[in-house]
Amino acid sequence: MLCIFWFNLKKIGFKACLAQMFFVHTFTATESGMLMLMALDRYVAICYPLRYGTILTNPVIAKASLATFLRSVAFILPFTFLTKRLPYCRGNLIPHAYCDHMSVAKISCGNVKVNAVYGLLVALVVCAFDIFCITVSYTMILRAVVSLSSSEARHKAFSTCTSHICAIVITYVPAFFNFFTHRFGGHTIPHHIHIIVANLYLLLPATMNPIVYGVKTKQIRESVIKFFSGDESGITE
């Protein structure tokens, strides 16, 4: 996108486009999985605080993260083959700022039903599963927090989850809007809205999550204030 806006470079090779498609969708699927793992982390921290260190050890966290990434690769890799097999005879103009799966598939003159069905399947298996785990985790967290006798303890428990909930909203709202409008609202929603939301879907979580966590995390907030105020006594290397 920077190349488009800064240098007016509006061309990309087909193989490079497929590679871009793979990495964009792989990392967005991995991001969804990481939000799910963070919800499980909050569940263990609040419901089993004394056993947190023994349940979520470094090897367990590393294995869970690797499994989440490999899951994304396994589900997204077929996108490239399904898109590559299509015949392209309607031109090579993609009405998008980057190589989104359905945007590339729709410029082909072949049948894209398999692409659409598989994309829907991936969304249901990956995102729906992650959201289900997040919902179950926060249901258990809510039950545990409500049962606390101290209002201060309840407030502290809820406060630890606020940043994660904000990250979930920032990530999933534009993601699902972009996904479902491509398949079910293509003729009713203006195309420029598709482009804007799709760009927000990629850029908003990456730019807003550090701000959200920086504001909510006391240590980060104090370090940033000291850095910009010129007092580096509280910053260690």
What contacts 88, CB < 8 A, 6 or more positions away? Answer: 107, 108, 109
Per the domain annotation, does 235 fall within a domain? no
Residue 110 has pLDDT above 70, yes or no: yes
What CATH number did the domain enclosing 145 receive? Answer: 1.20.1070.10
Per the domain annotation, does 221 fall within a domain? no
Per the domain annotation, does 108 fall within a domain? yes
Q: pLDDT tens across 193-206, in order?
A: 778 877 887 888 87
Per the domain annotation, does 234 fall within a domain? no
Q: pLDDT tens across 111-122, in order?
A: 888 988 898 888
Average pLDDT over residues 64-90: 91
d(CA 133, CA 194): 28
* pLDDT recorded at residue 76: 93
Average pLDDT over residues 95-104: 82
Residue 25 has pLDDT above 50, yes or no: yes
Model confidence at 235, in pLDDT bands (50, 70, 90)? Answer: very low
SS3 per-residue string spanning the chain: CHHHHHHCCCCCCHHHHHHHHHHHHHHHHHHHHHHHHHHHHHHHHHHCHHHHHHHCCHHHHHHHHHHHHHHHHHHHHHHHHHHHCCCCCCCCCCCCCCCCHHHHHCCCCCCCHHHHHHHHHHHHHHHHHHHHHHHHHHHHHHHHHHCCCCHHHHHHHHHHHHHHHHHHHHHHHHHHHHHHHHHHCCCCCCHHHHHHHHHHHHHHHHHHHHHHHHHHCHHHHHHHHHHHHCCCCCCCC
Residue 45 has pLDDT above 80, yes or no: yes
Residue 67 has pLDDT above 90, yes or no: yes
Question: Which residue range forms the structural domain that includes residue 75?
Answer: 1-207
Per the domain annotation, does 103 fall within a domain? yes
Average pLDDT over residues 164-178: 79
User: Residue 154: what are its φ and ψ, rounded to 5°?
Assistant: -65, -45
Model confidence at 64, in pLDDT bands (50, 70, 90)? Answer: very high
Per the domain annotation, does 171 fall within a domain? yes
What contacts 203, CB < 8 A, 6 or more positions away? Answer: none
d(CA 87, CA 147): 60
pTM of the predicted protein model: 0.78
Domain count, the chain: 1
* pLDDT recorded at residue 182: 63
Average pLDDT over residues 46-51: 85
Model confidence at 187, in pLDDT bands (50, 70, 90)? Answer: low
Q: pLDDT tens across 131-163, in order?
A: 899 889 888 888 887 777 777 767 776 777 777
First-to-last C-alpha distance (Å) of the chain: 35
Per the domain annotation, does 218 fall within a domain? no
Per the domain annotation, does 141 fall within a domain? yes
Average pLDDT, the chain: 81
